[in-house]
Amino acid sequence: MEKDKKPNPAEDEQARLEAEEREVARKAEEAAAELERAEGELARARKEVETLKDKYVRLMADFDNYRKRMQAEVEAARKEGEIKAIRAVLPVLDDLERALEHAGADPETVAEGVRAVHQGFQRILSGLGVEPVPGTGEPFDPNVHEAIGVVEGEEDEKVAAVYQKGYVYGEQLIRPARVAVTKKKEVGGGK
């Protein structure tokens, strides 16, 4: 005789609960595995951030040291340049002192001494790379000449007279020459 199986609601509920419990356990294991993976990634990311932060701090320190070193080198080069210039002009001071010692002597001797000092000083400036701006008879160049007067001449725009010499250091203008510039004479009865 075959027994009719009647559905047992308590057994069905128990089976459903067990299935749900297994599903919740499986999802909990998956969540725990995902959490463990995320915690590992977070730990790696934190370590990478610390490494990058350390590199950044070291780089900033290196840059600050470089900046300080460059400032010190620039200052040393500036002082070296000043000392070089001072050493270069000291012989002129020596010559002037010798000329003053002999100031009571013959005026022609004093004039010779001043000319010698002038020539010596020009040699020193030339040795430092300082050269005079072209003067009388040269074409007027507003880049190196400052016109302070106009005189009549045979041609336009020529330097007629130099009132104060100008000087260049390489391509850099130290002081413009103060000059009088020619203007061509008017021929005939111009208005």
Strand pairing partners for 130? 169
pLDDT tens digits along 96-126:
787 777 767 677 777 777 888 888 888 888 8
Q: Looking at residue 88, what is its pLDDT? A: 82
Q: How many CB atoms lie within 10 A of CB 133?
A: 22
Name the residue with tokens 């020539």: 119
Q: Looking at residue 92, what is its pLDDT? A: 82
Of the candidates 141, 153, 146, which has an alpha carbon nearest to the alpha carbon of residue 182? Answer: 153
In this prediction, what percent of the chain has a pLDDT beyond 90? 49
Full set of structural domains in the chain with CATH: 18-128 (3.90.20), 132-191 (2.30.22.10)
pLDDT tens digits along 63-79:
999 999 999 999 999 99
How far apart, in whole angstroms, are the C-alpha atoms of residue 118 and residue 114? 6
pLDDT band at 1 (very low <50, low <70, confident <90, very high): very low
Q: What is the SS3 assignment for 149?
A: strand
pLDDT tens digits along 46-58:
999 999 999 999 9
